[in-house]
Chains A and B, each alone.
Chain A
Amino acid sequence: MPAGSPLLKSLIFGALIATTVTVLSTSVQRGTDLIPYQLGWSLFVGGIGFAILRTGLISRWRSLFFILMAWGFVLNFKSELIGIKSAVFACSEQGRVPFCHIAMASSFFNYLYQQYLALKSGSWLLWGPLTLGVLWLVVTLSLGQAWCSWACFYGGLDEGFSRVLKKPIWAWTNVSKKLRDFPSALLLFLLLVSLTVFLPVYCLWLCPLKITDAFLDTHGAVRMFQKVFFISIGVLAIGIVPLLTRKRTFCAWLCPFGAWQAFWGRLNPLRVTILPDRCVQCGDCARVCPIFAIEVTEDGPKVLPYCNRCGECLDICARGGIRYTLLGGTDGSGSVLRTVFIGMGLVVGGAVGGLFMPEVFRKIVFWIGGR
């Protein structure tokens, strides 16, 4: 476990993050009435940066930011959808297809086909998803797989439940090697069948994050099955199993975007690396890894491509044997890289949260104070 940084350095780091998030947040959403809330959000993110550097604990503070962002998203966006109900998610140009990053990954071939149609039609209004693609590229280059623990506005849901109990009731640590690649298999399957039926199969049948029935099937029986799937997957994978095991079950097993990023995230050079000379093979890192991304082998623990860079293993390792590195190299200054990465994570996550968290703060103030 690394020691904390000096007070001044931590303060400067926090202030830099807060300033950057403020600039990004206010340039995307303009409006004087939002500014106090945007500043509030930026200060909160900067405060998280300060706390991480000062205490040396990454995941404890990151998770606070991450969980708050996810529940803020649900509160702001999803609650409005539930209220509006009909025709939500639907954009007249895109028909009935919902678009979030998870949908983009699981129906990527359909997405490519849509882009081809958009290109042929010459209507620039149809190019919305392409913008999403550019954003994805920026995020992937800057964070890679770390999106799933630093910026995804859904990931904090199961992480929130996984943090309720201090110790797991069900110690789920080992996963058969044959099964660990299930998320990639699920992604492959979804890519192919979505293309077959020309529909986003994941969104229609499996995504528990869609807590509205706005675009379910019109056939009564099919609609009922869809609801049963959503509710059971949501209750089990986001709620109950994370609560019992302290593992992010949905993110680890059922999120196609996680598998997608496990592949493309390699574009980003940052890795979590276990230093063999310091590792005593206690297995603590594998035990606490919330997404089963550390495999215990005869040669010692091995970090799998599914690693989210959440920092849980860095926090637990008593000998400081785990570091953020560039492409797995074990030399060089770990602490500089660590600071740069944490800064990147918080800035990107803060910018994503800046799209809705100020509005959440405003709503809360309105609900409490009535203005």
Chain B
Amino acid sequence: MIALMTEGLGLGLATGGYCLGACAPMVVPYFLSEAPARWKDALGIVLKFLTGRLAAYLVFAAAVSWMGHRFRGDIPLSLLNVASVLAGILMVGYSGIRTFSDKAFCRRLSEGKSLRMWPWAMGFLVGINVCPPLIAGAVRLLELGRVSSGILFFLAFFVGTSVYLLPVMLMKPWVRTERMMNIGRLAGFLSGGWFVVRGMSAWAG
């Protein structure tokens, strides 16, 4: 078990730079838009995102291990591209709500509790996306072919990759201005659109 977890951690640490690359287009604009006032809030945003990502990894690990156990077959990557499209739609929606929060409909959504769920949802959808580290992990899962081992492996893998996302918090001292919030929202629109296009084009082959 220790060997398996060390292997997962090592793979996560080795490939985690890619995770930052894959997740940053979502996390950074969101972080700027929310403009956390305290370090606690900044940590909260990153932790929510990471928790969503953890859930995604565990679901992914369980599913792929089960598939590896049952079928020894290919991973249905096209389904994962749907997650990319959904993450993009979510980001565009979020940016829209924040940008037009002076309009009644957006204000209601902006003030409601549902928007606080956004980082979890985005973390989950981005976490389940096809990215090189996830594929590398998935290949190992297919070999393992056991759900419990797969979950343990991916738990350690998650810890390894998450190390690279924590520095996002360090932007906190520079974000609390109206300009930075606007930049975050506008970048969120662009990133969301890019995730949608990327997911759809990958889906279409």
A residues lining the B interface (CB < 8 Å): 177-182, 184-186, 188-189, 192-193, 195-196, 198
Pick from A182, A196, A198: contact of B25, CB below 8 A: A196
Which one of B34-42, B72-80, B113-121, B178-186 is at the A interface? Answer: B178-186
Taking chain A's interface residues, is the majority helix, strand, or loop, or is none over half, making it mixed? helix
Residues of B within 8 A of A180 (CB): 182
* Interface pairs (12), CB distance under 8 Å: A177-B182, A178-B99, A185-B184, A185-B189, A185-B190, A188-B28, A188-B32, A189-B25, A189-B187, A193-B191, A195-B21, A198-B21
Q: A195-B24, A196-B25 are in contact. Are A189 and B194 (CB under 8 A)?
A: yes
B residues lining the A interface (CB < 8 Å): 21-22, 24-25, 28-29, 32, 99, 179, 182-187, 189-191, 194
On whether the beta carbons of A179 and B25 are closer than 8 Å, the reply is no
On whether the beta carbons of B21 and A186 are closer than 8 Å, the reply is no
Residues of A within 8 A of B22 (CB): 196
In Å, the complex CA distance between A198 and B22 comes to 11
Pick from B99, B187, B194: contact of A188, CB below 8 A: B187
Residues of B within 8 A of A189 (CB): 25, 29, 187, 190-191, 194
Residues of B within 8 A of A193 (CB): 25, 191, 194
Q: A178-B99, A181-B179 are in contact. Are A192 and B186 (CB under 8 A)?
A: no
In Å, the complex CA distance between A195 and B29 comes to 15
Which of B29, B185, B186, B191 has the largest count of A CB atoms less than 10 A from its CB? B186
Pick from B182, B185, B191: contact of A192, CB below 8 A: B191
Q: A178-B99, A193-B194 are in contact. Are A188 and B21 (CB under 8 A)?
A: no
On whether the beta carbons of A178 and B182 are closer than 8 Å, the reply is yes
In Å, the complex CA distance between A149 and B184 comes to 27
Pick from A178, A181, A184, A196: contact of B21, CB below 8 A: A196
Residues of A within 8 A of B186 (CB): 178-179, 181-182, 185-186
Residues of B within 8 A of A182 (CB): 186
On whether the beta carbons of A185 and B194 are closer than 8 Å, the reply is no
In Å, the complex CA distance between A179 and B185 comes to 10
**13 extra A-B contacts, CB within 8 A, seeds A185-B29, A185-B183, A189-B190:** A181-B179, A181-B182, A181-B183, A182-B186, A184-B183, A185-B185, A188-B29, A188-B187, A189-B194, A192-B187, A192-B191, A193-B25, A193-B194
In Å, the complex CA distance between A182 and B28 comes to 16
Nearest residue (CB) in A for B195 is A193
Shortest Cβ-Cβ A-B pairs, 6 listed: A185-B186, A189-B190, A185-B187, A192-B25, A196-B21, A188-B187
Nearest residue (CB) in B for A259 is B183
In Å, the complex CA distance between A181 and B190 comes to 13
In Å, the complex CA distance between A179 and B187 comes to 11
CB distance from A158 to the nearest CB of B (A): 21
Nearest residue (CB) in B for A184 is B183
In Å, the complex CA distance between A50 and B25 comes to 49
Pick from A177, A186, A195, A198: contact of B190, CB below 8 A: A186
On whether the beta carbons of A196 and B24 are closer than 8 Å, the reply is yes
CB distance from B26 to the nearest CB of A (A): 9
CB distance from A177 to the nearest CB of B (A): 7
CB distance from B180 to the nearest CB of A (A): 9
In Å, the complex CA distance between A60 and B184 comes to 37
Residues of B within 8 A of A196 (CB): 21-22, 24-25
In Å, the complex CA distance between A196 and B32 comes to 19
In Å, the complex CA distance between A189 and B187 comes to 5
